[in-house]
Amino acid sequence: MTWDSFFEILKHILTTQTGIFSLSYKMVIMWVIGGTFIYLAVVKKYEPLLLLPIGFGIVAVNFPLVPLMGFDPDGKRHLLEIFYHYGVEWEVIPCVIFLGLGAMTDFGPLISNPKSLIVGAGAQLGVFITFIGVLFFGFTLQEAASVGIIGGADGPTTIYLTQKLAPHLLGANALAAYSYMAMVPLIQPPIVRLMTSKEQRKIRMKQLRPVGKLEKTVFPLSTFMVISILIPAVTPLMGMFMLGNFMRESGVVERLSDTAQNALMNIVTIFLGISVGATMAADKFLSLKPLLIFGFGLIDFAVCTVGGVLTVHIMNLFLKDKMNPIIGAAGVSAVPMSARVAQVTGQKEDRHNFLLMHAMGPNLAGVIGSAAAAGMFIAMFG
């Protein structure tokens, strides 16, 4: 064996069996992006349950030659490709997450104050403004619809809609949605202060009426039927949401409800996070569109907050018992973060004003509203 052939073999190994010579600067940029999300999750504790696996997924798929997100030469799927294909592409995970969310949700505040549904509708304003905005930048109708839903601040709905209409934007859309959801405490308070006076922020709302067990049990069934008749396109999401809530409120399947809320939810969260992160390979992500998505996502989120607060102002013109406009900001879903933000913002003006339960109504209405918006997008562009 000569030195030449030895070096030839070594060179072959280094170029084809290690990633050293296939590394590109784009991959390094993606490590930085992934690292930023890991930092936000671990150090800042912003939505760590999702941003941590997403950040790891971003870093993991941006190494050359790693068999994670692609196919073997014989056509076998790689590990993360399997998670992505069966979980996200088949639209299983968003629906299972909605099952868990339904099992975790107490709809009492919404049932006792049904007016808050209108606030949830008003808070979808940004969804439509962004839709037009991104069309000006050359997005197709389907892409614009998928970007528009980011302002609804509902991760599973964003993923479900994007997968149906513009799957190539899944990583950017999901990341923008979860990032802005994590930044609710930073984004919403200045907007709320800008749109309300000190006196308006001090409004104390009438105590909510107690809701009986029977009424809570019937609610998911009737809501499921209404949504399924009016917007069948969103039945997989809303159906699972209402099934989860029905399991919770019926009280006869506590084991199932507990599994949906905890074990199942945790399992699908792991798969969802890593699958979304894995869609962000450098060659797909580093382009103008994801940057625009992040920019418009922020505008979308801000306009949705404005829409919610504005809706409460308009409703107050007709209501005898005024609503505190702060709770309008909770009309973007982001459950329960935006309701908590409303509570904290309200207590800065009046320490004895408890808005949390009042804000939970618009907050839950926002979940239904953004799912309804998604259903209409799917019906029109799907």
Partner 1 sequence: MMRNGNTTRALAMAAALLLAAVLVSAAAPPAVFAQPEEGAVAAPASGQAVHSTQSAMEAKKDLQRGDEGFWSYAISTLIIRFVGIFMVLGILQAIIQIQGRIFGAYEARKKAAAAAKAS
Q: Does the protein bind partner 1 through residue 114 (CB under 8 A)?
A: yes
Q: Does the protein bind partner 1 through residue 316 (CB under 8 A)?
A: no
Q: Does the protein bind partner 1 through residue 335 (CB under 8 A)?
A: no
Q: Does the protein bind partner 1 through residue 207 (CB under 8 A)?
A: no
* Total interface residues for partner 1 by CB under 8 A: 43
37, 84, 98, 131: which one binds partner 1 (CB under 8 A): 131
67, 138, 190, 251: which one binds partner 1 (CB under 8 A): 138
What does residue 77 show for φ and ψ, rounded to 5 degrees? -75, 145
Report in angstroms how near the CB of residue 306 gets to partner 1 at its nearest: 15
Interface mask toward partner 1 for 231-270; x: CB under 8 A? xx--------------------------------------
Q: Does the protein bind partner 1 through residue 214 (CB under 8 A)?
A: yes
Q: Does the protein bind partner 1 through residue 314 (CB under 8 A)?
A: no
**H helix intervals, 149-287:** 155-165, 170-182, 184-195, 198-201, 213-230, 235-250, 254-261, 263-278, 282-285
Contacts for 172 with CB less than 8 Å, ≥ 6 apart: 280, 285, 289, 290, 293, 294
Contacts for 229 with CB less than 8 Å, ≥ 6 apart: none
Contacts for 133 with CB less than 8 Å, ≥ 6 apart: 296, 299
- Cα 58 to Cα 30: distance, rounded to the nearest angstrom: 7
**Binding range to partner 1, per CB under 8 A, among 82-90, 136-144, 189-197, 294-302:** 136-144
Rounded-to-10 torsion of CA 79, 84, 90, 96: 100
Omega before residue 190 within 30° of 0, cis: no
34, 87, 108, 120: which one binds partner 1 (CB under 8 A): 120
- Nearer to partner 1 among residue 200 and residue 305 (C-beta): 305
- Cα 369 to Cα 163: distance, rounded to the nearest angstrom: 19
Q: CA angle, 27 as apex, 23 and 31 as ends, to 5°?
A: 125
Catalog residues that contact partner 1 under the rule CB under 8 A. Answer: 110-112, 114-115, 117-118, 120-122, 124-125, 128, 131-132, 135, 138, 140-142, 144, 212, 214-215, 218-219, 222-223, 226-227, 230-232, 365, 368-369, 372-373, 376-377, 379-381
